[in-house]
Homo-oligomer: A and B are copies of this chain.
Amino acid sequence: MSRQDVNVYILGCIVRPSIKQVALQAGVSIATVSRLMNQPDSVGIDTASKVYQAMKTLAFRPNFSGRNLRAGRSRTVGVVLPTFSNTVFAQCLQGLETVAREREYSVMVTATEYRQQDEAAAVELLLAHRVDGVILTVADAEASTTLDLLDHEKIPYVLVYNQPQQSVRPSVSVDNQLAAYDAVSKLIELGHRQIQMLAGHFHASDRALQRYHGYLQAMQQHGLEPLAPIEVARHTYTSLDFDYLQTFRDPSQRPSALFCSNDLLALSVMRDLRVLGLRVPDDVSVMGFDGIPLGELMDPMLSSVEQPSEQIGALALRTLVTAIEEQQEGHPTSVATHILPHTVRLGGSVKPFVQPFVKPFVQPVIQLFTTLP
């Protein structure tokens, strides 16, 4: 062995030590070094300490590329979400990453920015990195060639937020239709009759469509006429474009309650209504979906369907790791569909609807007072 094999410095440049240098330094074979990392118990106590010492002096750090290549696994999971700018997905990522760290998995992330056509490339890239599995939210879980690919290649994956109805696919979500049904039923219970749904493009979010079905179900079941949904060109923040609210200027034209497919949209529409001179909840009640933490800080508090995003992420990761490890041990693949409980949070953005048919008796008196300086 040449001197360079021991030395960490070559031409003054740091060369990261490999197990080879460690083995040389400790006077053992590379197999021993490798074993110490994988099954520490299988190495003699004094040999072990020698190797640990060598690792320390050389500041050895294993090279996962080598390990992954050889072992055929990477202890890395891939994540594909529409965007991290929407708190819901960010929370999911947070929950997922926390559990990943516990389980000693790493996380590689991509965003599709709600573009269905970007899903395939995102997954391809992750697969090139040989991630052991994928956690993802797709535009449409039923008709997804990306999911078909994963199925075909037997790559473990878990959907988050998507809730496949026809196909059998591992997923973690709330029951979107039921949750929307509950929310709209609550509005109906509070006296609302004219309830309209507002959503991003349905083709970019099967969840939004499922929620719309829940809306329809609630309306029809209560003998109410469903209104055509308002589809806006975004899933997150508005850009102060009020065209979609033009009809709201006429009180007879506008619904008494608005059910939004997510909280960012709900908060945006509340702001837009405000700018238009309409009050929430006095003129329009607003119900969101997601239950983002910031909604609770609003005044009036945002009513919303709470879904446990961090837990969705956490459970998805646990489910994925289980699938990965089952697969590695040659077990049969079990497909688990987790439906987590939702709750309808009622805040000040929704108020009971009272038919405005009688003018209050005291109004003249009030008018007298208000004409005073």
* A contacts, CB < 8 Å to B: 14, 16, 61-66, 68-69, 74, 76, 83-85, 87, 90-91, 93-94, 97-98, 101, 106-111, 113, 124-130, 153-154, 237, 264, 267-268, 270-271, 274, 293-294, 296-299, 310, 362, 369, 373
Contacts and interface: CB of A to CB of B under 8 A. Distances in A.
A41 B27 CA distance: 47
Contacts of A61: 124, 127-128
Contacts of A268: 297
Nearest to A372: B365
A287 to B, nearest CB: 16
Which 8 A/B pairs are nearest by Cβ-Cβ distance?
A: A90-B90, A65-B69, A65-B68, A84-B94, A267-B297, A271-B297, A84-B90, A85-B94
Contact of A85 (B16, B91, B153, B297): B91
Given A61-B128, A65-B129, 11 more contacts: A63-B128, A85-B90, A85-B91, A87-B87, A93-B109, A98-B113, A107-B109, A107-B110, A270-B297, A298-B299, A369-B369
A86 to B, nearest CB: 8
B106 A129 contact: yes
Tell me the number of copies of this protein: 2
Contacts of A98: 111, 113
A124 B101 CA distance: 13
A14 B64 contact: no
A110 B16 CA distance: 23
Nearest to A152: B14
A65 B109 contact: no
Nearest to A298: B298
5 contacts: A61-B127, A62-B128, A63-B130, A65-B68, A66-B69
Contact of A14 (B16, B69, B90, B153): B153
Given A90-B87, A108-B107, A293 B130 contact: no
A130 B64 contact: yes
A268 B297 CA distance: 6
A199 to B, nearest CB: 18
B109 A64 contact: no
Most buried by B among A74, A126, A128: A128
A76 B64 CA distance: 13
B125 A106 contact: yes
Nearest to A86: B90
A94 B101 contact: no
A9 to B, nearest CB: 12
B85 A109 contact: no
A68 B97 CA distance: 24
Contacts of A297: 237, 267-268, 270-271
A237 to B, nearest CB: 5
A111 B128 contact: no
Contact of A97 (B64, B109, B128, B153): B109
Contacts of A64: 128-130
Given A106-B108, A108-B106, A271-B299, A130 B85 contact: no
A74 to B, nearest CB: 7
A234 to B, nearest CB: 12
